[in-house]
Amino acid sequence: MKVEGSIAFLGVCGIPTSRGSKHKYERGRLPVKRILGIVASQRVLGNSEILTKAAMEATGADSQKEMIRLTDLDLKSCKACYKCLPPDVPCHINDDLNFLLDKIRAADAVVFAAPCYFLGPQGSIRILQDRFLSVSNKAREFSGKPCISIMSYGARGMEGYAEAALNLTPRFLNLNLIDSASFFGASPAEVLEDPKNLERVRQMGRGLVDPNYKRDFKANECPVCWSDIFRYDGKELICPFCSTKGEIKVEGQEVKMVFYPRANHRFSEEGRHEHFDVYLNNKKREFLAKRHHYQELQKPYRSLDWWVSPQTDS
């Protein structure tokens, strides 16, 4: 299937993107009563917090609102133990992940906000995403809750990959990402200097409670995950986030990107099952069968004990 720089085709073709998919909230969204705002910035009343509050406020006075400052949570790094792969096994790390997941489960709609730090989303977002191994095969429980993501950045042209990477949070959680946007503002509250920012984020907030909300069309983005960052191998365009492929076509004076989205893309039910259930479980079985062989490969490196730490140096 061919899509020319447009997401509009997807709905028509029935490709299960986060907007056109078949999960329960999307055909007729459930009423949104509880809104959860998750802010990945330490700055009190910084741009992320303000934009999140403005979006949540725009959902109306009737909804119950709760906010979590992600940077205040105790979220430890994934240990790569793979114990959490079976659908009924939670992550073994004892920290605040379950508090956060329970809050997302209890919410009807979610706002994620993070500043751009060194071209990507603030670090607590990455730590959280790394822990999604324990939820990716259980993501049906989050399936389809409307979500928006808000990225703020302070140097024009240095937005990097932050918005596309922030969007992976709702996508891997299987939430229904209905819109995302980046907002310029370096100092706390600077985003409010441009009234268009407030207007835009309020529009996104209203979208959370409007089942007919349609995100504005954006040219030159991946039709599956909305990333506007691509690899080019000399022949094909490849979306680094969802692996959707495309081509650059020159027609007369016009240069355009043409995409060929697959129905079983990374964030579809089938794509998710393929990676988190099939591939990772196969890898785990393979590891268990070959672990003595891997231990042999490790042997020459075991005795090279060059580690230092603040404790060894004191």
Ligand X SMILES: Cc1cc2nc3c(=O)[nH]c(=O)nc-3n(C[C@H](O)[C@H](O)[C@H](O)COP(=O)(O)O)c2cc1C
Residues of this chain that bind ligand X (CB under 6 A): 41, 43, 46-48, 115-119, 152-155, 158-160, 185-186, 188
- Taking the complex as a whole, the smallest distance from the CB of residue 161 to ligand X amounts, in Å, to 10
Residue (115 or 170) nearer to ligand X, CB: 115
- Taking the complex as a whole, the smallest distance from the CB of residue 98 to ligand X amounts, in Å, to 26
DSSP 152-183: EESSTT--TTHHHHHTHHHHHHT-EEEEEEEE
Residue (47 or 124) nearer to ligand X, CB: 47
Residue (44 or 80) nearer to ligand X, CB: 44
- Taking the complex as a whole, the smallest distance from the CB of residue 170 to ligand X amounts, in Å, to 18
Residue (117 or 142) nearer to ligand X, CB: 117
Contact 158, 77 (CB under 8 A): no
Residue (72 or 141) nearer to ligand X, CB: 72
- Taking the complex as a whole, the smallest distance from the CB of residue 254 to ligand X amounts, in Å, to 31
Nearest-angstrom CA–CA distance, 181 and 151: 6
- Taking the complex as a whole, the smallest distance from the CB of residue 208 to ligand X amounts, in Å, to 20
Burial 177-204 (b: 16+ CB within 10 A, else e): bbbbbebbbeebebbeeeeebbebbbbb
Strands (E), the chain: 3-4, 34-39, 64-69, 109-117, 120-121, 146-153, 176-184, 231-232, 237-238, 245-251, 254-260
Contact 37, 21 (CB under 8 A): no
Contact 103, 301 (CB under 8 A): no
- Taking the complex as a whole, the smallest distance from the CB of residue 199 to ligand X amounts, in Å, to 18
Contact 112, 147 (CB under 8 A): yes
Nearest position to ligand X, beta carbon? 46
Residue (118 or 217) nearer to ligand X, CB: 118
The number of residues making up the chain comes to 314
Cα 265 to chain centroid distance, Å, stands at 15
